[in-house]
């Protein structure tokens, strides 16, 4: 296992432009470079001997990929921001409390100091803690290649289990979170086997916007219940135009249980996930009432 690690090659370029060029050039060849950030997912696979021999492209030293920036359209979070930073960033805490909350539930301190938001996205696990939040906040992902950047809505980013629209020649550059609408309440809750270091059985993030006593917009996003993180439009529709009442909440929960089809796996059962997911929607609505 360690012998294999000692053979692995790492490419490290001095800046983002040269890094992007190295990635784009390698993507056309037989050995595309694999971008590496904090390595908290990558080294789990490497230590288990579960990856073929690949060449890596180091991003960790690129400060151009760090920073949380206030823009007219919202907050731009750069790729290498760690969950340790995001859980205590004043702007994130004030405007996107669900993201700060989710960041505080990733692994434990040691993981939060190394794990990055772009790493969570690129790893693409349906259980990724920050992913339902990005979906509920209508995040847009900026991908860059040496030739040109492009922005992709996070709701169209994944194409299947751990697959995405990101081309091997593209890097995740940053995530744009639009400003939340006035009257929006954000909610996050992760349900796992224990409080820390758990991979979720079900994870939920919601944003519920209430104007003049009625719901004008709702986003209900779930992880660990499908091959990708998912939004549940039927449950969102159940809340639209309604007052936030227990009846509206249980109707949303009922529709949610009809719409999702979780599976039995090593972490939980389909039946438990369905029950918990519905209950979480009710809790999210109750939270929005406060």
Half-sphere exposure of 152 (CA within 13 A, CB side): 19
Q: How far is the CB of 126 from other proteins (least distance, A)?
A: 19
The CA angle 121-184-70, to the nearest 5 degrees, is 55
Counted residue by residue, the chain has a size of 290
**How far apart (Å, rounded) are the C-alpha atoms in residues 217 and 215?**
6
Tell me how many residues contact other proteins (CB under 8 A): 32
Q: Per CB under 8 A, does 19 bind other proteins?
A: no
Q: How far is the CB of 200 from other proteins (least distance, A)?
A: 15
Three-state DSSP class for 77? strand
Binding mask 35-64 for other proteins (x = CB under 8 A): -x-xxx--xx-xxx-------x-x-xx---
Q: Per CB under 8 A, does 147 bind other proteins?
A: no
Q: How far is the CB of 3 from other proteins (least distance, A)?
A: 10
Q: Per CB under 8 A, does 7 bind other proteins?
A: yes
Please, which of residues 92-111 interact with other proteins by CB under 8 A?
107-111
Q: How far is the CB of 47 from other proteins (least distance, A)?
A: 5
Burial call 182-205: b when 16+ CB within 10 Å, e when fewer: eebbbbbbbbbeeeeebbbbbbbb
Which of 58, 52, 51, 54 lies closest to 22 in space, CA to CA?
A: 58
Binding mask 170-209 for other proteins (x = CB under 8 A): -------------------------xxx------------
Helix axes 270-289, 246-259, angle to 10 degrees: 150
Where do contacts with other proteins occur on this chain (CB under 8 A)?
Answer: 2, 5-10, 12, 36, 38-40, 43-44, 46-48, 56, 58, 60-61, 84, 107-111, 113-114, 195-197
């Amino acid at each position: 296992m360690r012998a294999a690690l000692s053979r692995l090659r790492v490419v490290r370029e001095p800046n983002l432009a040269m890094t992007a060029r190295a990635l784009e050039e390698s993507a056309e060849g037989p050995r595309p470079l694999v971008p590496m950030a904090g390595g908290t997912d990558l080294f789990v696979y490497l230590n288990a001997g579960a990856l073929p021999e690949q060449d890596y492209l180091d991003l960790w030293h690129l400060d151009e990929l760090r920073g949380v920036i206030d823009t007219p359209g919202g907050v731009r979070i750069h790729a290498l921001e760690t969950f340790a930073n995001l859980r205590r960033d004043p702007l994130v805490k004030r405007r996107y409390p669900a993201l700060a909350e989710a960041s505080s539930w990733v692994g434990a301190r040691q993981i939060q100091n190394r794990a990055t938001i772009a790493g969570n996205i690129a790893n693409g696990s349906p259980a990724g803690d920050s992913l339902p939040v990005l979906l509920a906040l209508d995040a847009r992902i900026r991908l860059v290649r040496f030739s040109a950047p492009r922005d992709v809505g996070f709701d169209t980013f994944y194409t299947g289990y751990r697959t995405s629209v990101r081309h091997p020649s593209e890097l995740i550059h940053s995530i744009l979170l639009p400003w939340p609408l006035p009257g929006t309440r954000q909610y996050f809750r992760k349900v796992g086997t224990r409080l820390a270091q758990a991979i979720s059985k079900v994870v939920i993030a919601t944003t519920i916007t209430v104007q003049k006593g009625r719901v004008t917009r709702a986003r209900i996003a779930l992880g660990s219940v499908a091959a990708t993180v998912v939004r549940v439009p039927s449950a969102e529709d159940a809340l639209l135009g309604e007052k936030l009442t227990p009846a509206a909440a249980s109707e949303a929960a009922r529709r949610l249980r009809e719409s999702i089809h979780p599976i039995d796996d090593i972490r939980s059962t389909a039946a438990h996930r369905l029950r918990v997911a519905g209950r979480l929607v009710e809790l999210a609505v109750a939270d929005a009432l406060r």
